[in-house]
Amino acid sequence: MTTNSLSISRLSQLAEEHPDAITATLCGFLVILGSLALHLGWPGLAVFILPAAYVIGGYSSAREGLTTLFQERELDVDLLMIVAALGAASLGLWRQEYHLIVDGAVLILIFAISGALEGYAMQRTERSIRSLMSLTADTARVMMYGDEREIAIEKLEIGDRILVKPGEIIPTDAIIIEGFSSLNQASITGESMPVEKTAGDEVYAGTINGVGALQLEVHKTPESSLIQRVIRMVQQAQTEAPPSQMFVEKFERGYARLIVGLGLLLAILPPFILGWNWEDTIYRALIFLVVASPCALMASIMPALLSGIANGAKQGILFKSGAQLEIIGKVRAIAFDKTGTLTTGKPEVIQIVPAAGYTETEVLQLAAALEVYSEHAIAIAIVKAAQQQQLELPTATDVQAKIGQGIIGKVNNQIITIGKAEFVEATAELTQVSQQLQAEGKTVVWVAKGDQLLGIIAVADTLRPEAANTIKCLTNLGIEHIIMLTGDNQQTAQYIASELGINEVYAELLPEDKVQVIKDLQKHYQTVAMIGDGINDAPALAQASVGIAMGISGSDVALETADIVLMADNLEKLAQAIILGRRAQNVVKQNIVFALSCILLLLAANFLGNITMPLGVIGHEGSTVIVTLSGLRMLRN
């Protein structure tokens, strides 16, 4: 390919990627050429060149403005700019003051430059969000009858086995069936440190495999993967306008009609009231149309909110819309679900208390020998504890589970009973210890051999490591009321809450009870957040002013219902989300105040006769560019 062909190809690519920039550049070239012709005393050439600048720079705005006018019967800012520019050109031709034609062309040019800069700013924000798209692989290496075949991701089915080599992207959510590796999950969870994964662990599409080869089994369809849900949520966030933006858009339409009406009055009344000549009157009316247009006001909100959404996505905080970014900054009360949110949702063996004459190892070994046959969460915790201590488990026979009571079986022809105190027929030996453990929110499992008590095992759902610090941070941020909601018993709930510094607890709740608590909170605090992970939390998440779901442990229903998702299940991100929301509010307020101040200042200068059309254009469009770039501050952590 020749150098000329490469140049043409590159120009064509630039025109497709940045059409507004190309338009502004051509318009600027023609404005400079027309101004030079006028300066050299060739007004005829200038009058021939400058209209081309009007057409190239103003075509898009004129089309949008006329479309809005004829289809929606509304006036907008684009049409105001075009009317002002054409009015300046007409006045220049009438008075043969050709510099006014240049003024109108400069208005078109700066409007085009402003549009190009706003487009660039929005592209930068959207590009930061759309980078999620590049995290997904197009194909997967499927193992079939010992051979490897590459197939498209969308053709994967549940049960397919796939091979992922070191350094490759995980193609879809799956379970490791063979291999060990560390995975970079920053794209999903926002955490920079790699996470070690082995057989039985779940891996997520879009994460990057480390040094070990992995064999995976697909356990959900590719379109249901976590990264695909994230992408859909991000796309939804880009299309939904927050309340403040919708208000400003409605305000713009009425404001534009008001400006046109005032512009007509200013073009007619001053000669009769103030004694102005008609040329100056029309010129000032045209400047009024320019400087009073709410372009900067319109650009005050969405760039900031989209930038905030992008920033949150990079930190593992997924906002489904700009509205939720606004609302989270206004939250005054927060309700936490307990299990799976403040706690890990996975019971663990906390303490083993043997009876006299026995050891902790003996108690755990015999208990795990039976519990290995059960799928109950407490049984899994006991077996896991035995595995962590690398205990060799004896073989159990005649194992029977008694629903709601416990499990019974034989080890070395001796009957082993595990479960509640009344099922095991426990003696009073460890009753006081058991009561103390239960008062601390732990579940107590009794273990007996024949009619002899071996000991008790305390199992509990452990607190998330960051939970207490999160509550403290939220209090320091000025959150007025923090409560805990749970379906668990009052004693356990109260103990967990006291450990975290939460003063108000609602226990033994059904899903509809949680909804009622949220409604009651909203009566007193208006803006209430609810954070949860389970299906039973979904109604409360929907009722809350802003619902927040745990991204990894959260159920599909909770993720779909929630407005914000914490991708790493890291509660500390909740405080960051609130800080991000408050920053967004501050930036938007600053932008609005700046935009309105510029409009008022320019209007005052126009009425005092101290401003020309080019200066009015620069002031108006400059303020628009400034608030747009100001919104990009939200991209910074």
3-state SS, 267-284, equals HHCHHHHCCCCHHHHHHH
Token digits of residue 529: 């957040």
Pick the residue with more confidence: 515 or 70? Answer: 515
How far apart are alpha carbons 448 and 455 in whole angstroms?
A: 7
Q: Binning pLDDT at 50, 70 and 90, where does residue 226 land? A: low
Residue 81, both tokens: 């700019």
Q: Residue 548 in contact with residue 292, Cβ under 8 Å?
A: no
Residue 476, Cβ neighbours under 10 Å: how many? 9
Comparing 27-41, 246-260, 479-493, the range with the smallest average pLDDT is 246-260
Among 337, 533, 563, 569, the active-site one is 337
Helix (H) or strand (E) holding 249: helix 243-268
Q: How many CB atoms lie within 10 A of CB 2?
A: 7
Instruction: Tell me the percentage of the chain whose pLDDT exceeds 70.
Output: 81
pLDDT beyond 80 at 196: no
67 vs 609, higher pLDDT? 67
Q: 456 pLDDT exceeds 90?
A: yes
Q: How many helices (H) and strands (E) are present in the chain, helices listed first?
A: 24, 22
Question: Hey, how many other C-beta atoms are within 10 angstroms of the C-beta on 274?
Answer: 10
pLDDT tens sequence across 409-426: 999 889 999 988 888 876
Q: Which position has the higher pLDDT, 140 or 14?
A: 140
Please determine, for residue 331, whether its predicted confidence score (pLDDT) is greater than 60: yes
Give every CB contact of residue 39 below 8 A, 6+ residues apart in sequence. none
Decide which of 3.40.1110.10, 1.10.287.3510, 3.10.580.10, 3.10.180.10 is the CATH code for 344-462.
Answer: 3.40.1110.10
Nearest Cα to Cα of residue 91 among 280, 291, 293: 280
- Mean pLDDT over 46-73 rounds to 78
**DSSP characters over 109-128:** HHHHHHHHHHHHHHHHHHHH
Nearest CA to 482 out of 463, 494, 500, 499 is that of 500
Q: Kindly give the interhelix angle for 43-72 and 77-95, rounded to the nearest 10 degrees.
A: 150
Exposed/middle/buried for 637, CB within 10 Å: 0-12, 13-18, 19+?
Answer: exposed
**How far does Cα 628 stand from its chain's mean position?**
20
Identity of the amino acid at 149: R
Task: Give pLDDT, residue 422.
Answer: 82
CA distance 386 to 367: 9
pLDDT tier at 339, thresholds 50, 70, 90: confident
Q: Is the pLDDT of residue 474 over 70?
A: yes
Q: Within 13 A of 155's CA, how many CA atoms are on the CB side?
A: 9
- The CB-side HSE value for 196 (13 A sphere, CA atoms) comes to 1
Q: Record the tokens describing residue 200, joined without a space.
A: 């039985």
Lowest mean pLDDT, pick from 195-204, 384-393, 449-458: 195-204
Share of the chain above pLDDT 90, in %: 19
pLDDT, one tens digit per residue, over 297-315 is 777 887 788 788 888 888 8
Cα end-to-end distance, the chain, whole Å: 44
Please provide the average confidence, as pLDDT, over all residues in the chain.
80
Instruction: Give the tens place of pLDDT for each residue, 77-110.
Output: 667 677 777 777 776 677 666 666 777 777 777 7
CATH class of 137-232: mainly beta
Write the burial class of residue 469 (CB in 10 Å: 0-12 exposed, 13-18 middle, 19+ buried). Answer: middle
pLDDT band at 206 (very low <50, low <70, confident <90, very high): confident
Cα 155-156-162 angle, rounded to 5 deg: 135
Residues contacting residue 86 through CB under 8 Å, at least 6 positions apart: 54, 104
pLDDT of residue 423: 85
pLDDT for position 14: 47
Structure tokens belonging to residue 520 = 């009651």
User: Hey, what are 252's tokens?
Assistant: 């713009």
Instruction: Tokens for 395, please give them.
Output: 């073989």
Q: How confident is the model at residue 237 (pLDDT cuts 50, 70, 90)?
A: very low
* In the predicted structure, residue 181 carries a pLDDT above the cut 90: no
Query: Confidence band (pLDDT; 50, 70, 90) for 622?
Result: confident
pLDDT of the residue at 535 = 64
Annotated active-site residue 173? The verdict is no
Q: Which of 187-196, 313-322, 340-349, 559-568 has the lowest mean pLDDT?
A: 187-196
Average pLDDT for residues 164-174, to the nearest whole number?
Answer: 88
**What is the value of pTM for the model shown?**
0.65
Q: Which two tokens stand for residue 423?
A: 């099922």
Dihedral of alpha carbons 532, 533, 536, 539, sign: positive
Residue type, 318: L
Model confidence band, residue 335 (pLDDT cutoffs 50, 70, 90): very high
Average pLDDT, integer, range 553-571: 73
Domain ranges of the chain: 137-232, 344-462
Hey, how many other C-beta atoms are within 10 angstroms of the C-beta on 595? 23
Residue 348 tokens, joined: 């663990």
- Tokens representing 581 are 């929301």
Residue 455 — left, alpha, or beta (φ > 0 → left; ψ -120 to 50 → alpha)? left
Asked if pLDDT for residue 363 goes beyond 90, the answer is yes
- Alpha-carbon gap, residue 183 to 324, rounded angstroms: 31
Contacts of 57 (CB under 8 A, 6+ apart): 23, 24, 26, 27, 105, 108, 109, 111, 112
In 355-468 the beta strands, taken as DSSP E runs, fall at: 396-402, 406-411, 414-419, 443-449, 452-463
96 vs 634: CA distance, rounded Å? 48
Using DSSP's 3-state secondary structure scheme, residue 212 falls into coil
Q: Residue 514: what are its φ and ψ, rounded to 5°?
A: -65, -40
